[in-house]
Structure 1
Amino acid sequence: MNGGGSGTIRDSYKTLAAWLENAPPDLLQARSRQAELFFRRMGVTFAVYGDEESNERLIPFDVVPRIIGADEWGGLEKGLKQRVTAINAFLKDIYGPQDCIRAGIVPADLILTNPHYRPEMQGRRPPGDVWCHIAGVDLVRTGEDGFYVLEDNVRTPSGVSYMLENREMMMRLFPDLFAEHAVRPVEIYTDMLLRSLQASAPSGAGEDPTIVVLTPGPFNSAYYEHSFLADKLGVELVEGGDLFVNDDTVYMRTTEGPKRVDVIYRRIDDDFIDPLTFMPNSAVGVPGLMSAYFAGRVTLANAVGTGVADDKAVYTYMPEIIRFFTGEDAILKNVPTWRCREPDALKEVLGKLDELVVKEVGGSGGYGMLVGPTSTKAEIEAFRAKLIADPDDFIAQPTLSLSTAPTLNGGDLSPRHVDLRPFVLSSPAGVRVAPGGLTRVALKEGSLVVNSSQGGGTKDTWVLDN
């Protein structure tokens, strides 16, 4: 609750602090046990690949909310809209005239040799000219310096189901606490998403386009979220075998016969989406889907090829990208970052590996990274060898003095590091930000790794109306 370790309580937390002062000492623990029981009954889990103990885990949920004031959220919202607008313009450009490459804003090789660059999309324009329909932007706060962007998630960003389930759980367990706060409703996200997807339908889809959520199936780590979102949106959850393409049009198999599909909210990576265009051995894609896409007969959210903007090396150029495409300085700044592909930066990074966080440019989930201050000498030296062998594959960042949020540990409240993933929706109708986001918390004392696959938990995020 304090202002970056200053010992003072942030204004947004003062009502909560007073409520906690008067709460029975065992109340939070009792409500925490109730939350765990409810989540287990509802099956709110995620899968951990390679985990021999269990294929499904419950993400730890902390019952103390993370609270953001109205003014602070206003600045975040403005910065997020600016950033995602620039990302969409950047993707349109690199698959079009490539002005940003010719202007020297981004190195050509970083784009054209990027594993997520799809040459099949060169010269193509998705329906409505929107590339990134759903973005999850990871933010961290460092003391009193405000929020920084840690990374952009624009391929198939996950976590929104936990944001919504966390809010439902808190409203059930703490109605009295909600009554004392003017909290903006995050549950409007699914209505926002549905309207955004409808607005993104291709021309000729009619006033009531058919939307589906495409999942790789129940063995995917985020399958719970796929089924949750389909249910909340009121649309069909489909696997590749449920769809087929005829005459450059996508159809869904139903008991009443084929039904045309206009918008596919896909939770399948590019490589697997169409075995006729990408990986021929994909068993989860839809043969011929890309031909329908190229014909402008179906919208894919997100568009094929958006992964270039997911890349952590491209992330380092985002301030320049934002300035180039919007004419404005970035409202939300990047974390200072060394590009290991540059010899001088590599030399500096190798000289202080024990102080830095080093990440693979294509990594995710907290894997493939080195946290220098908490690593052994052997781990550092092993990572040094990887870095020297392939410097282009890594970036490095300082170990940030992240802000903390009060978290229930045992029977006591103690500070734990947190990040925030707000969700940003884009369509031809505009860019909107859900009023909240997924707060992830590092439950281990001193840990900076908040990923659920690495033992992190989540919190409900309250954005105040005043």
Structure 2
Amino acid sequence: MYEMDLLDNTENVNRLLARYGVKFGIYKNNTFKEQLFPFDAIPRVIQKEEFDYLERGLKQRVLALNMFLDDIYHDKKIVKDKVIPEDFIFASSGYMPECEGVTPVKKIYSHISGIDLVKGKNDEWYILEDNLRVPSGASYPMIARDLCRRSSPKTFRDNQLEDNRNYASLLRKTMDNVNVEGHTVILTPGRYNAAYFEHSYLAEKTGAHLVNGSELIVEDDKLYYVDYRGKKERVGAVYRRISDEYLDPMNFNPESVIGIPHIFDVYAKGNVALLNAPGNGIADDKGIYYFVPKMIRYYLGEEPVLSNAPTYLPFYEEDMAYVLEHFDSLVLKDVAEAGGYGVVFGSSMTREQKEQFIALLKKEPRRFIAQEVIDFQDLDIQDNGDVVARKADLRAFVLMADEPYVWKSGLTRFSRNPDSFIVNSSQGGGFKDTWVLSR
């Protein structure tokens, strides 16, 4: 399937990735630190038929989530029909009342969705979580594929693979599809952001301007980019890599120094597109995740193609009883956390820790979900000259223009710890290229 020269070049590829600045930043003990996002050259290989199945399920899921977001900020039919409890919606930290009644350009809320999946040892795929705010990670397999093609051209000549280097053109099409009038920009918080490499890389590949908040101004209900010469030009679409709360100090967090005053007002009047839409955090909520299969049935009238991991909501009395009875066999997640944080395994707790956690769970049942621990498949990685097995997931990217499109690649992340199920880059994981066979 792949040539030894590809595997032998893992070290060289990582050296080039470091030279090109392919790093991931983390904050630890209130200190910002950049570290290499380690690459492993043994690819994850997905057969065409298997990816076709994933593609159907991912398109279905993202369509339903977009319909949910439009509904929840307008008519709230899914609440009125008692599919999702009202209290559950409005208690979510991702729900933004400022977005009530606001309709984004073309009614597209999640232009770029990152859906995390794992494949169980039973060969079934499960959705672990939905990322509809500011999903990151597409740039890493893009640049890794490019470097690997150079180091082992024969491998890529001999195998019928989908070319993942089209992500930039797909992203540009997605941005242009909603551009109101003017330039397209990628808004970055700056070089101290964890994913700054990706911001600059995608700007270069798509031809969009990479800007920070100080380079954008609002005048007469329109958004403008001001270059270093003071020249002012209209902006029609902003792929923003800034969290909702920091986007606009006049509407959200007044202490934000990286946002643009009144940009939300321009967006609300339809004079600029924001990718992704503010307020998407309600669909990112791990508690809302529980209801996505119900959303698919409610909005689309279809059975879900892809299953959630078996999930319990302590918010419901019967689920709370189950969680307490089976605590040691479950993984518990804080619904507002991300990046592998706020995840605890019942089996790993001491008796005292368990008692403290259960007390917190009973006090704040809306704050947590519990899931069965999926024994997901290991993938081979190289480790100091040996090939060893490690847990790995897949972040699939779905881009929404007029129709959803599933990128025929993805970010495969793996744990470098043999005993860990946590694969996130912020937790020290590495990544692989994802090969989707074209035949």
- Corresponding residue number in structure 1 for 2:375: 401
TM-score between the two structures when normalised by the length of structure 1 = 0.91
Where does the alignment leave 5 or more consecutive residues of structure 1 unmatched? 1-14
Where does the alignment leave 5 or more consecutive residues of structure 2 unmatched? none
Q: CA deviation at 1:95?
A: 0.9
- Corresponding residue number in structure 2 for 1:8: none
Q: Which amino acid aligns with 1:101?
A: V
Give the Cα–Cα distance (whole angstroms) in 1 for the partners of residues 144 and 395 of structure 2: 14
- Corresponding residue number in structure 2 for 1:197: 175
SS at match of 2:144: helix
Q: CA deviation at 1:353?
A: 2.5
Q: Which digits, 9 at most, give the CA deviation of each residue in 1:191-211, with x for residues without a partner?
A: 001011101123xx2xxx410
Q: CA deviation at 1:434?
A: 0.7
1:106 aligns with 2:84: yes
- The partner residue of 1:332 within 288, 306, 313 is 306
Matches within 5 A, 1:276-425: 276-425=250-399
Q: CA deviation at 1:358?
A: 0.3
- Corresponding residue number in structure 1 for 2:224: 251
- The partner residue of 1:213 within 186, 190, 205 is 186
Matches within 5 A, 1:159-170: 159-170=137-148
- The partner residue of 1:130 within 108, 131, 135 is 108
Is 1:370–1:383's contact at 8 Å kept on the other side of the alignment? no
SS at match of 2:354: helix
Give the Cα–Cα distance (whole angstroms) in 2 for the partners of residues 351 and 316 of structure 1: 20
1:157 aligns with 2:130: no
Q: Which digits, 9 at most, give the CA deviation of each residue in 1:94-122, with x for residues without a partner?
A: 11111111111111111122221111221
Give the Cα–Cα distance (whole angstroms) in 2 for the partners of residues 357 and 170 of structure 1: 37
Sequence identity (%): 39
Is 1:370–1:380's contact at 8 Å kept on the other side of the alignment? no
Give the Cα–Cα distance (whole angstroms) in 2 for the partners of residues 315 and 347 of structure 1: 20
1:95 aligns with 2:73: yes
Q: For structure 1, which segment, 307-316 or 404-413, has the greater mean C-alpha deviation from structure 2 after superposition?
A: 404-413
Is 2:13–2:144's contact at 8 Å kept on the other side of the alignment? no
- Corresponding residue number in structure 1 for 2:423: 450
Tell me the C-alpha RMSD between the 2 structures: 1.6
Give the Cα–Cα distance (whole angstroms) in 2 for the partners of residues 405 and 63 of structure 1: 12
- The partner residue of 1:180 within 138, 151, 158 is 158
Give the Cα–Cα distance (whole angstroms) in 1 for the partners of residues 65 and 103 of structure 2: 15
Give the Cα–Cα distance (whole angstroms) in 2 for the partners of residues 381 and 65 of structure 1: 43
Is 2:88–2:366's contact at 8 Å kept on the other side of the alignment? no
Q: Which amino acid aligns with 1:226?
A: H
The count of aligned residue pairs is: 438
Q: Which digits, 9 at most, give the CA deviation of each residue in 1:358-408, with x for residues without a partner?
A: 000111011111023344445434433332331210001111110111111
SS at match of 1:143: coil
Give the Cα–Cα distance (whole angstroms) in 2 for the partners of residues 406 and 317 of structure 1: 34
SS at match of 1:87: helix
Give the Cα–Cα distance (whole angstroms) in 2 for the partners of residues 102 and 173 of structure 1: 57
Is 2:110–2:277's contact at 8 Å kept on the other side of the alignment? yes
1:436 aligns with 2:409: yes
Matches within 5 A, 1:69-80: 69-80=47-58
> Could you say if the C-alpha distance between residues 331 and 292 of structure 1 is closer, same or farther in structure 2, counting changes exceeding 3 Å?
same
Q: CA deviation at 1:39?
A: 1.4
Q: CA deviation at 1:54?
A: 6.8
Give the Cα–Cα distance (whole angstroms) in 1 for the partners of residues 128 and 241 of structure 2: 23
- The partner residue of 2:199 within 226, 230, 248 is 226
Is 1:170–1:460's contact at 8 Å kept on the other side of the alignment? no
- Corresponding residue number in structure 1 for 2:41: 63
Q: CA deviation at 1:426?
A: 0.7
Q: Which digits, 9 at most, give the CA deviation of each residue in 1:306-364, with x for residues without a partner?
A: 11100000000000001111110111111110101112212221233221110001110
1:465 aligns with 2:438: yes
- Corresponding residue number in structure 1 for 2:21: 43
- Corresponding residue number in structure 2 for 1:235: 208
